[in-house]
Amino acid sequence: MSYCVTYSESKVGLLLSFVKIKHCNCLSDNCDCGSKFYAVINQCTTNLLPEYLNCTHIHEISTTSENIVVDVSELCRINYYINMGDREFCAKPIMKFEFN
């Protein structure tokens, strides 16, 4: 199961994992200096579907060999991830207000 996320406003990638990083040098396990969570993301390139499909909320995506680590506050949205064998797609959840 993969999660396809939108991060840093409009970039798309597959969420690989979360990491917790402490910003101190305590060696104790019960350090309470605070830590931050980061998301490890495989960056994807996106392509719009052909215009005649009139389906702007779905993009075809391609994974890349580039993984990046971003602060969880950069995560914007979890999208639907659709794997069709050799092709992968990312669908933005449709919000009710968009039907108005």
Residues that bind Zn ion (CB under 5 A): 24, 26, 31, 33
Instruction: Please tell me the distance from the alpha carbon of residue 22 to that of residue 51, in angstroms, as a whole number.
Output: 47
Determine the Cα–Cα distance for residues 16 and 66; give it in Å rounded to an integer.
Answer: 12
Q: Which lies closer to Zn ion via its Cβ, residue 29 or residue 86?
A: 29
Residue 31 or 72 having the CB closest to Zn ion:
31
* Beta carbon of residue 18, minimum distance to Zn ion (angstroms, whole number): 19
Q: How far apart are CA 5 and CA 26, in angstroms?
A: 33
Q: Which is nearer to Zn ion, 1 or 21 (CB)?
A: 21
Return the bridge partners of 13, or none.
Answer: 5, 43
Task: Report the nearest approach of Zn ion to the CB of residue 20 (Å).
Answer: 12
**Least distance to Zn ion from the beta carbon of 70, Å?**
23
Closest CA to 42 of 83, 70, 19: 70
